[in-house]
Amino acid sequence: MTTPRDLVESFYEDVWNRRDVDAARRIIAPDFRFRGSLGPEKRGVDGFVTYLDAIHTALGGFTCIIEDLVEAPERAAARMLFKGVHQAELFGAPATGKMIEWSGAAFFTIRQQKIAELWVLGDVDAVKRQLGPATSLEF
């Protein structure tokens, strides 16, 4: 049986860090809802993969690190560290080549052993401070 912990660890290590779209299709529900701090809500695996690609384009070597993880039946929460090299426009700021790093919290809902919903609350102000004064409110 796949636990919420297994799903969250695979989500970050396989899907985000390795960009394994096949893993995404295995562990994410077809009607997945994703709300992240860096962009608009995404629905379904394909909508999420579009977001994943956009983040990896803007932030080279983008990596997600689980700092703490708590699980319950059909739920999980993780304290996260996100980082990557700013290599393309992000929040209106042109590429700086700087390593950007910020913290966040991720709240997962699990249904039928798949990730059904995810809400990520990241420290967007920390991102914008590191990008510089040319940032906008939109992703």
Q: What is the pLDDT of residues 114-139, one digit of tens each?
A: 999 999 999 999 999 999 876 555 54
The single-letter code of the amino acid at 87 is Q
For the whole prediction, is pTM greater than 0.85?
A: yes
Contacts of 11 by beta carbon, 8 Å cutoff, 6+ apart: 27, 28, 108, 115, 118
- The pLDDT of residue 138 is 55
In the chain, what are the domains? 4-131 (3.10.450.50)
CA atoms of 114 and 40, how far apart (whole Å)? 22
Q: What is the mean pLDDT of residues 27-40?
A: 91
Q: What is the mean pLDDT of residues 95-107?
A: 97
